[in-house]
Chains A and B, each alone.
Chain A
Amino acid sequence: MAVAERKSVIIDEASEKEVQVDVQSAAKLQEFLHSYRPTTEMRRDHLGEHYRVEISQPLPEFDCKNARAYAATDLTNPARRMFAHVCQPGTVQRQRVISELKGLLHPSLAMIATSGPVELSQPLEERLVIFYERPDGIKLSELLQKNPGLRNPTFLCTNIIAPLIAGIQQLAELGLSHGCINPDTVYVHNMAMLAPAMAEPCGYSQVYYYEPLERMKCLPAAKGEGNTAQDYYALAVLALYVLHGTEYFEKFTRERLPYRILQEGTYATFLPNEDAPEIFFDFFRGIFCENSADRWDYSYIRPWLDGKRYNVLPPPSPLESARPFEFADMTGDTRRQVAYALTQNWDKISDVLHSGRLSHWIAVSLRNKELTENVARIANSVTQINSKNEIQLNEQFMRVVLLLDAQGPIHLGKLAFNIDGIDTLFAELYATKSQELQGLIKYIEFNMTSFWLDQQRKDPEYMPPPLYNAMLAKLDRIRPIIRNNNLGFGPERVLYDLNSDMACQSPLLSGHYIATLPALLKRLDQLAASMSREGDPIDRHIAAFITSKLGIQHELRINELAANPALAGNKSIMSLYLLSLVQDKVGTAIKLPGLTHWLSLRILPLLEDVHSRTLRQKLKNLLMEQARGGRLSGLAELVIYGDYVTADRNGFQQAWQKYQANAIKIEQYRSENLIAKQSVRVGFSFAKGIAYVALLIAFIGSLKGM
């Protein structure tokens, strides 16, 4: 008993010693992190050495929904008049437009000087800041208010339309669009110039009547990049504004304008009495046509400005059916009108389909057999779907609306979006934590786009724009991973896959603008000192951000640690795995001692899962060494790819078997029964030996006697 106690004391002493070593190791790591102050290259309010945001000088006239505007200074040329958009966190910017227009000099476009993350002094946050040259002059709206005499055709053509079409044409050549042409974004000094609109999704702040119908019906974040056809449309509305003023548009309410356009046509809606100088008839008729592909562009407007006359006929009033379809408080003479009426009364679509009124109207008034059959089929499906299954019902309603209006945006419950607007819509719904996000996720998951595509392909000449093709490819890539809700996947992953330029939205990185992998590593390294006590350096956002940037499509599994599921599934180990992949990708030249110490501090207690004390101690010592090295890949090679787990497991199994076998033997050695039996057996052996020897001696003696 005393021996057992002594041995137990030895083990306790060894464990205590190990615990002490662990505490010392953890203390060393914490001490390093506590004193770790990585140098930051950023100067407050500065972007590099050239630009500075004057955060004390706001310029509200340049504000937009997603960004506040401030004066800015070009430090190499202080005379240059500049302003900067300080973007709100969690919002989406038009990075493609920014990168294409950066440094582009055009008399009709405000120049984008540069963009990038800037650490602000107020608020104390890192934000994306876009620096522009300030457009000359004042806003067109202010100019016309001050000088109503400028509302004349000459000024409009020479000073407004001519420079603006040149700017729009430049955008068209780059495959871009402006998306927000209105009197507040057009600046006039001598000639008109377009203010930038890159700090928010295309058309996000656009006044509704400056948008063509297919964009007007969309949610602001879901309009998509579109093309310059929407800019020419806005230009035509702007021309009306110059000629007639704001009051002209007061009668066009947001609710009724789409309906009126559908009923009367765009041209008839905006110019019911053709109340414009005659020379503008061609211009308005050419632009206010229903099909965006037929809309006038630079190739028509420039000659028109030069005096060429086309004698464009006014578009006919859209009329398809013999009898109107009455629904709610609306009547529809065309399929598009009916579709619009349905989207405005989404909850009542089910009743219309159940009653068969819609298919009856299509059959009788439109005499379209194929459409009647399709609508009847959908109506039949709707009757079989449980009314509580909102997703399936919405999908069927979406199909009906698309059958009636294939040109219009896709409607899904409260959502209305264009294909190329899905990315920004997703970001908006995610940022506002909208319940509609689930609907959009299901839309992507169930590949509802295919029905939209089928409708477009009914037109044999239909060619999807490059942006649509890119989005369709993205959706195809996302679909297989959307159901996966593990680390690195889920809605966060969809967010970053759809918006590849979006900054990481992790709460760990709140107050920082991280849009690239090197920036992520550096920032996590800097955060190590303050965040290491709170948890792992990775959360769902960071993991999704990384997997999206690295293009990881399969579930994250560390096969090397499969023998120890507790280690393989651990978040700290997973963090190390992902971050080491990132460091491998961006280059191991960047040393990250803060991050390696942070991860080592998290991983150190996990090594208790290693059974072998010797191996454990060795690993801990190596871990401390690697932490000092600042290389995540070195740490990963040790902890993940070290191949110690299998050896440890096998060793443990052998040790366990040996221990159990020994325990049985020890029990046996304690058994009195066994001792007694063995004593008898051995005793008899001794006795037999002696007796046989005696017999042998007696036998030999007797033989001699004979």
Chain B
Amino acid sequence: MSSDLSSLRSGGIKMAMPLTIIALMASAVILQFGFIFLLLAILPTIVIFFTDNSPGKSAFKVVGSCNFAATLPYLAPIIHVGRHFGHYDISFLLSNMTAWLIIYGAAAGGWCLIFLCRVIANFIVILVYEYSRTALESVQTQLVEEWGQRVTQKN
């Protein structure tokens, strides 16, 4: 079962690059100049894609999701116009400092989220482990009580 999953996963990774290229080409066709805005907006995501060493590129996924979540509201009108083969003037967007602050702020927020969650998770893991350890130690005590110290001997 786990080997099936891993083979699917490796297959998915192999397919990711062509799909991304196709998606980018489709985006370039639809967004036209908006595509430049998109590239600039997801710059933090692109950077982290290449620098992320975390297992399963989790940091990329978090930062990317946050980055993309902030970009999407600005990208939606461009896509809407592009769908009707119209022209959207992106100069207003490029010069909108608030938009850039939100977009890059969201990417930075992704990083903060990672850090914060890690701290919370650390606390929870310690709590769960402590509970499990105590429960196991209680079982061990019962075993020793029932079966004697010989049960603790390695051989």
- Is B117 a contact of A675 with CB atoms below 8 Å? no
- A residues less than 8 Å from B63 (CB atoms): 691
- B residues less than 8 Å from A692 (CB atoms): 65
- B residues less than 8 Å from A670 (CB atoms): 133
Choose, from A38-46, A202-210, A656-664, the stretch at the interface: A656-664
- A residues less than 8 Å from B136 (CB atoms): 662, 665-666, 669
- Select B66's contact among A11, A613, A680, A694, beta carbons within 8 Å: A694
Q: How far is the CA of A433 from the CA of B146 in the complex (A)?
A: 52
Chain B residues 99-145 with CB under 8 Å of chain A are 110, 113-114, 116-122, 124-126, 129-130, 132-134, 136-141, 143-145
Q: How far is the CA of A670 from the CA of B125 in the complex (A)?
A: 11
A698 and B68 contact, Cβ closer than 8 Å, known pairs A611-B148, A655-B146, A669-B133: yes
- B residues less than 8 Å from A453 (CB atoms): none
Identity of the chain B residue whose Cβ is nearest the Cβ of A668 in the assembled complex? B129
A662-706 near B? 1/0 per residue, CB < 8 Å: 110110011000011011111111111011101101110111011
- Is A706 a contact of B129 with CB atoms below 8 Å? no
- Is B121 a contact of A686 with CB atoms below 8 Å? yes
- Is A4 a contact of B137 with CB atoms below 8 Å? yes
Q: How far is the CA of A694 from the CA of B68 in the complex (A)?
A: 9
Q: How far is the CA of A128 from the CA of B82 in the complex (A)?
A: 128
B119 to chain A minimum Cβ distance, whole angstroms, is: 7
Q: How far is the CA of A415 from the CA of B17 in the complex (A)?
A: 106
- Is B118 a contact of A679 with CB atoms below 8 Å? yes
A319 to chain B minimum Cβ distance, whole angstroms, is: 82
- Is A659 a contact of B143 with CB atoms below 8 Å? yes
Cβ-based interface call for A450 (8 A) = no
- Is A684 a contact of B59 with CB atoms below 8 Å? yes
A11 and B124 contact, Cβ closer than 8 Å, known pairs A659-B151, A684-B58, A691-B66: no
- A residues less than 8 Å from B151 (CB atoms): 611, 652, 655-656, 659
A681 and B132 contact, Cβ closer than 8 Å, known pairs A4-B137, A663-B140: no
- A residues less than 8 Å from B113 (CB atoms): 687, 690-691
Chain B residues 56-77 with CB under 8 Å of chain A are 56, 58-59, 61-66, 68-70, 72-73, 75-77
- B residues less than 8 Å from A76 (CB atoms): none
- B residues less than 8 Å from A701 (CB atoms): 72-73
A705 and B65 contact, Cβ closer than 8 Å, known pairs A659-B152, A675-B129, A687-B113: no
- Select A11's contact among B116, B125, B141, beta carbons within 8 Å: B141
Q: How far is the CA of A651 from the CA of B61 in the complex (A)?
A: 50
- Is A683 a contact of B117 with CB atoms below 8 Å? yes
Chain A interface, DSSP helix/strand/loop, else mixed: helix
Identity of the chain B residue whose Cβ is nearest the Cβ of A689 in the assembled complex? B117
Cβ-based interface call for A10 (8 A) = yes
- B residues less than 8 Å from A687 (CB atoms): 58, 62, 110, 113-114, 116-118
Chain A residues 568-618 with CB under 8 Å of chain B are 611-614
A679 and B125 contact, Cβ closer than 8 Å, known pairs A3-B134, A10-B145, A688-B62: yes
Cβ-based interface call for B150 (8 A) = yes
Cβ-based interface call for A14 (8 A) = yes
Q: How far is the CA of A701 from the CA of B72 in the complex (A)?
A: 9
A682 and B125 contact, Cβ closer than 8 Å, known pairs A659-B143, A663-B140: yes
Chain B residues 36-71 with CB under 8 Å of chain A are 54-56, 58-59, 61-66, 68-70
- Is B59 a contact of A702 with CB atoms below 8 Å? no
Q: How far is the CA of A658 from the CA of B62 in the complex (A)?
A: 40
- Select B72's contact among A669, A679, A686, A699, beta carbons within 8 Å: A699
A702 and B76 contact, Cβ closer than 8 Å, known pairs A687-B114, A690-B113, A694-B69: yes
Q: How far is the CA of A660 from the CA of B147 in the complex (A)?
A: 13
- A residues less than 8 Å from B130 (CB atoms): 669
Q: How far is the CA of A51 from the CA of B119 in the complex (A)?
A: 102
- B residues less than 8 Å from A612 (CB atoms): 146-147
> How many residues from A make CB contacts under 8 Å with B?
49
- Is A679 a contact of B129 with CB atoms below 8 Å? no
- Select B121's contact among A683, A694, A706, beta carbons within 8 Å: A683
- B residues less than 8 Å from A658 (CB atoms): 139, 143
Cβ-based interface call for A7 (8 A) = yes
Q: How far is the CA of A652 from the CA of B146 in the complex (A)?
A: 9
- Is A7 a contact of B137 with CB atoms below 8 Å? yes
Identity of the chain B residue whose Cβ is nearest the Cβ of A696 in the assembled complex? B69
B122 to chain A minimum Cβ distance, whole angstroms, is: 4
- Is A688 a contact of B80 with CB atoms below 8 Å? no
- A residues less than 8 Å from B125 (CB atoms): 675, 678-679, 682
- Select A706's contact among B80, B122, B134, B150, beta carbons within 8 Å: B80
- B residues less than 8 Å from A666 (CB atoms): 133, 136-137, 140
B1 to chain A minimum Cβ distance, whole angstroms, is: 20
- The listed residue with most A CB atoms (<10 A of its CB), out of B120, B126, B133, is B133
- Is B114 a contact of A683 with CB atoms below 8 Å? yes
Q: How far is the CA of A612 from the CA of B143 in the complex (A)?
A: 9
- A residues less than 8 Å from B66 (CB atoms): 691, 694-695
Q: How far is the CA of A7 from the CA of B114 in the complex (A)?
A: 40
A660 to chain B minimum Cβ distance, whole angstroms, is: 8
Q: How far is the CA of A705 from the CA of B64 in the complex (A)?
A: 22
- B residues less than 8 Å from A690 (CB atoms): 62, 113, 117
A698 and B137 contact, Cβ closer than 8 Å, known pairs A679-B118, A691-B61: no
Identity of the chain A residue whose Cβ is nearest the Cβ of B138 in the assembled complex? A7
A670 to chain B minimum Cβ distance, whole angstroms, is: 7
- Is A3 a contact of B72 with CB atoms below 8 Å? no
Identity of the chain B residue whose Cβ is nearest the Cβ of A8 in the assembled complex? B141
A614 and B146 contact, Cβ closer than 8 Å, known pairs A684-B59, A705-B73: yes
Chain A residues 618-656 with CB under 8 Å of chain B are 651-652, 655-656
Identity of the chain B residue whose Cβ is nearest the Cβ of A678 in the assembled complex? B125
- B residues less than 8 Å from A614 (CB atoms): 146
- B residues less than 8 Å from A660 (CB atoms): 154
- Select A698's contact among B58, B72, B124, B150, beta carbons within 8 Å: B72
A11 and B73 contact, Cβ closer than 8 Å, known pairs A678-B125, A687-B114: no
Q: How far is the CA of A493 from the CA of B132 in the complex (A)?
A: 63
What residues of chain B have their CB less than 8 Å away from a CB belonging to chain A?
54-56, 58-59, 61-66, 68-70, 72-73, 75-77, 79-80, 110, 113-114, 116-122, 124-126, 129-130, 132-134, 136-141, 143-148, 150-152, 154
For the complex with contacts A612-B146, A694-B65, 13 further pairs of A-B residues with Cβ separation under 8 Å are A11-B145, A656-B150, A659-B140, A666-B133, A683-B117, A687-B117, A688-B62, A697-B69, A698-B72, A698-B73, A702-B76, A705-B76, A706-B76
Pairs A-B, 10 closest by C-beta atoms:
A683-B118, A691-B65, A683-B121, A698-B69, A682-B121, A679-B122, A684-B58, A686-B117, A702-B76, A687-B117
Sampled A-B contacts (7; CB under 8 Å): A7-B138, A613-B148, A660-B154, A662-B140, A691-B63, A698-B69, A706-B80
